[in-house]
Amino acid sequence: MKPAAMLRAEGAMPRAEGTMPRAEGNMPRAESTMPRAAGAALTLAAGVLSMAMAIAAPAAAAFDVGTPAPAFDLAGLDGQVSLARYQGKLVYVDFWASWCGPCRQSFPWMNEMQAKYGARGLQIIGVNLDAKNADARAFLAATPAQFSIAFDPAGATPKQYGLKGMPSSYLIGRDGKLVMTHMGFNQNDRAALEDAIKNHLGGTP
């Protein structure tokens, strides 16, 4: 026969175990906040992805170095911006958007290049691809551009240029033919890109 104390201790076990379902029952309420947080993050990611897909998916094949650059005539900050207007100049066309992080690094560099080489024939054109013009203008208010800005919310121009990533730049020679393409931008790109500009400008440094 077991002592009465042991029987009382063993008998208490079912009651202790019986509290477990009530504790576990609280778990769905704690976890229920996760779908809302995850949903917000997915919505933001989907917005950026859908814009990128709208530009890149229907894009034509990228044109090759040595071929004529596709013409464009777009609304800009100061009237129409036409590639044909800059015939005879070295043109650096840069595609950008307000949500593009590297674009915030490239703008100060492009301002510097336009100021440094504009007199020698360089013309930089930044083509914005934001669906909402207000987003582009908010970016420009925080990161001013000292070069020509054009707007292409429909995304027709990047399709012509075979755009595959943001930002992307195209250097167009004085004869209107593509001489270089570059995708992305970071501080390590600055020297190589400036060298390309200097080489294709020619003449006295």
**What residues have CB less than 8 Å from 61, skipping those under 6 apart?**
162
Domain, as residue range, for 192: 73-201
The vertex-144 CA angle with 192 and 142, nearest 5°, equals: 115
Q: Based on the domain organization, do 151 and 107 belong to the same domain?
A: yes
Any domain includes 49: yes
List, run by run, the mean pLDDT of 10-residue segments along the chain (205 residues): 41 42 44 41 40 47 83 96 97 97 96 98 98 98 97 96 94 97 94 97 72
Q: Strand 168-172 relative to strand 148-151: parallel, antiparallel, unpaired?
A: unpaired
The answer to whether the pTM exceeds 0.75 is no
Q: Based on the domain organization, do 34 and 79 belong to the same domain?
A: no
Question: For the chain, how many structural domains are there in total?
Answer: 2
The model's pLDDT over 27-58, given as tens digits with 9 standing for 90+, comes to: 444 444 434 444 333 433 433 443 454 444 44
**What residues have CB less than 8 Å from 80, skipping those under 6 apart?**
73, 74
Q: Based on the domain organization, do 50 and 82 belong to the same domain?
A: no
Q: Based on the domain organization, do 89 and 162 belong to the same domain?
A: yes
Any domain includes 62: no
The vertex-125 CA angle with 120 and 126, nearest 5°, equals: 140
What pLDDT does residue 204 have?
Answer: 54
The model's pLDDT over 114-127, given as tens digits with 9 standing for 90+, comes to: 999 999 999 999 99
Q: Based on the domain organization, do 16 and 107 belong to the same domain?
A: no
Q: Based on the domain organization, do 49 and 82 belong to the same domain?
A: no
